[in-house]
Amino acid sequence: MKPVDRPFRIACIGEVMIELIARDGNAAELNVAGDTYNTAAYLKRTAPELDVEYVTVLGKDRFSDRIVRDMEARGIGITAVARHPTRMPGLYAIETDAAGERSFAYWRSSSAARTLFDEDGRDPADVLASHDLVLLSGISLAILSSSARDRLRGALEGFRANGGLLAFDSNYRPHLWNDLELARAETERFWQCTDIALPSADDEMVLFGDADATDVIARLRSWGISRGALKCGNAGPVDLGPEGHALNVPAAENVVDTTAAGDSFNAGYLAATTAGRSSIRAMKAGHVLALKVIGKRGAIVDVG
């Protein structure tokens, strides 16, 4: 999979936001995060030899400048970051309970990222052309306009025809869609052009009404999915390849904050996959990385 004459190039598409983590009293910590952005950061940290670029739209304000500086500090490429003249990045606040479970509040309905791939913006085919793999999530789809999703879907057809790979995590967030049938239809449409599937069983069951992980796998296979991993929480991931091996893992002993558990798993899995490792070894790499991440507070943490 790895090109012999240059670094492997990955484009992560989506929205990067300002993150506020509530602390004791009135204190809060300000960070930069977002599902595919978290994966981009962990990809670059895990496999610095990869060429990782982020594809989004930011504003021309100081918070957008802060995000760009964060990208540069992490070694993430900014060539595909557009700057909107009037809009700003989205914002979310996060609180965690004693068990590490999260609750969120969002301010993102008019964020700059929602203009990504609009008719007056960049052509997605041009953005994708120089990459080997594209990472996309259901959140990425949810923030795009219907016409922008159509343009992206069309661009992915040409991208894959030329040897590119699409990695997709459905990452379903009901409040971003507002229409269950639309979410189902759009998610299915992108599953059908996915090369490496990285869904979570819980998300898929809520979105499509599957009874269990076995039903999720059967449905995904009926749509042509034959590669990737189904994340099943404490039960561990299941290989989506023909043999369907499950990775037996011990329960996490130190859960501080489950933010970015799936995002970091995706990073570990993709880093191992681009290095030519088997799906089982890629699942192990993803699981080990996710365990480190949930043992600390925040979306992007120091994993050593």
State the catalytic residue, choosing from 132, 215, 263, 302.
Answer: 263
255: tokens are 């859960």
What is the C-alpha separation between 10 and 24, in angstroms, rounded?
38
What letter does residue 110 receive in the DSSP assignment?
A: T
Cβ contact 42:289 at 8 Å: yes
21 pairs with which residues across the strands? 29, 94
What is the C-alpha separation between 263 and 176, in angstroms, rounded?
18
Q: Is-catalytic flag, 263?
A: yes
CA 211 to chain centre: 25
143: tokens are 């923030």
Cβ contact 134:128 at 8 Å: yes
What is the C-alpha separation between 239 and 283, in angstroms, rounded?
8
Q: Which residues are catalytic?
A: 263
